[in-house]
Amino acid sequence: MSQITIQCRLVASESSRQQLWKLMAELNTPLINKLLRQVNQHPEFETWRQKGKHPTSVVKELCQPLKIDPLFIGQPGRFYTSAIALVNYIYKSWFALMKRSQFQLEGKNRWLEMLNSDVELVESSGVSLDSLRTKAAEILVQFAPLNTAETQSTNGKKAKKRKKAKNSDSKSLSKNLF
Which of 45, 30, 22 has its CA nearest to residue 83? 30
Q: Where are the domains of the chain?
A: 14-113, 119-177
Query: Band of the pLDDT at 133, cuts 50, 70, 90?
Result: confident
Residues ≥6 apart with Cβ < 8 Å to 96 = 1, 52, 53
Per-residue pLDDT tens over the stretch 29-71? 999 999 999 999 999 999 999 889 999 999 999 999 999 999 9
Span 81-101, average pLDDT: 95
Q: What pLDDT does 151 receive? A: 47
What CA–CA distance (Å, rounded) separates 87 from 32? Answer: 7
Mean pLDDT of the chain: 82
